[in-house]
Structure 1
């Protein structure tokens, strides 16, 4: 067990206020463990001093490594990039704000040694989050489970441990807008959960406002479900049915004018058409992203890996091809 390497991937975006506390907490944690650890911070185009703080810590500790994006590519791609650089026998993905407590990792490792290839954290409680965010998150997971072709566990995020083999299979997926927790469910393997209490952020503000939450939800549903497209076909029946009933109502009564009924039906039909076009557009957008075949992300610099000994930084083939 002392020879086992555990990689921890931490996406970072404007975490200046709390990143030093995260580094100190994780370094204190790994000093007490019997396994070897590497901490891989992936900077997702931060505009504050997050990178400077990580670099200072990196210069003093060989456990720390840094991957820098050329710009902001998003949380899910930051996770994906971090996985590419791991060497561990097992890989843990966690947020860089200490909402995912390191104390849960030994429980995950214990399950891993029992034979599970994927161990995800299941949140019993979420501190420091608004009622609205808790409600929308709860509704998303349950809606996703109804629509998707995979049985993604409820109330889980990206905080999880993955065996090396599971990571290798996950990296074979090349979606431009990945929904990582859905992909992890899709690849299969023997999976289980550990319960934990998600803590309040130690500093700073959430990097997942409503707009990003909506995008994540759309990416997740359009990645793993065709049911919205089936709903579009059903919508096409509604205008015809409405027209028939409106005509029958017009003939049966004289209380309403033809114009008022016609306008009502027209507005209802236009609303359905706009919704249908929006659903189709979401799927076509994903197809366009795949067809364009652009790199999913661009790494501008890495530190703490093999390049530390060589004194150089360069683009690797895997960075160019992803």
Structure 2
């Protein structure tokens, strides 16, 4: 029976055929210099290009470079979860395949882990060649999320991190479907620290995380870690009730003392109807987000289905 490796690297892949050869070259050089055995687990998230064929070639070249191919595109966070389910190492590194997460930073993460930290996350201090809108929205979101939740989620951190085996086992035991890995990683606690780095632009290809996908991930993060939106619905209802009571007194005042005022009549009624309708729709939308997630959880379907795999997870 083969011994489990010391280091495992989990890398979700979606249409990254142009990046994989360079990733193999740089990551191989980095891992070869480590002080222990390693394995690499690629999770093909339903790629439509040659990514899976390239991963097969990696495996034939070096059996430590394993792969897991999902039956369709389940999304980045589920792909990361699948990788965590199959890794075997004592220290687990999660990174993306587009080389925005530099493999050369891995030794720094490992050094902090060897000092006793159980979670070491890579913290971005700059974003090269990213537009101002992306930088501003990312900056605002991370800080808003910290205020909305009771979990101390470090700002400017993505999924690029190192986790101890104990942390990974805890994450694997969590059954929720709408997963926000970086939030769950902070939620578990334990000793955590950061390693700053400058995030590189994509090596090749198109950006996979569009604004819509980023917004969806942000909503998942807020809903999965915070009940503040539900409280907001309550506050909006109380605000609408208070304004309604105030309007009753104002309308009576205008009717008694200014009967010819243009504020009395259809204008006031129309404004009140639109305001109450907007509050109701916002509250229904917030409730709908939570109810939709409850519906997904109670169905009990598996998080993903596997189409093909190498000897991932076997001894």
- TM normalised by structure 2 equals 0.93
Match of 1:123 in 2: 124
Looking at structure 1, the residues matched to 5 and 24 of structure 2 have their Cα atoms a distance apart, in angstroms, of 21
Match of 1:298 in 2: 305
Cα drift, residue 243 of structure 1: 2.3
Looking at structure 2, the residues matched to 174 and 255 of structure 1 have their Cα atoms a distance apart, in angstroms, of 59
Render the CA deviation track for 1:230-256: whole Å, top value 9, x for unaligned. Answer: 111111122222223333443335132
Render the CA deviation track for 1:182-236: whole Å, top value 9, x for unaligned. Answer: 1111111111111111111001111111111111111111111111111111111
Does structure 1 retain, via aligned residues, the 8 Å contact 2:176–2:297?
yes
Q: Which runs of 5+ in 2 are unaligned?
A: none
Render the CA deviation track for 1:128-163: whole Å, top value 9, x for unaligned. Answer: 222111111111111111111211111111110001
Render the CA deviation track for 1:258-316: whole Å, top value 9, x for unaligned. Answer: 21111112111111111111110111111111110000111111114377x9xxxxxxx
Q: How does 1:36-115 map to 2 (within 5 A)?
A: 36-115=37-116
Looking at structure 1, the residues matched to 269 and 245 of structure 2 have their Cα atoms a distance apart, in angstroms, of 11
Cα drift, residue 32 of structure 1: 2.7
- Does 2:265 match 1:265? no
Higher RCO (Cα < 8 Å, 6 or more apart)? 2
Match of 1:274 in 2: 281
Q: Which runs of 5+ in 1 are unaligned?
A: 310-322
Does structure 2 retain, via aligned residues, the 8 Å contact 1:64–1:304?
no
Match of 2:143 in 1: 142
Match of 1:181 in 2: 182
Q: How does 1:159-308 map to 2 (within 5 A)?
A: 159-250=160-251, 251-252=253-254, 253=258, 254-305=261-312
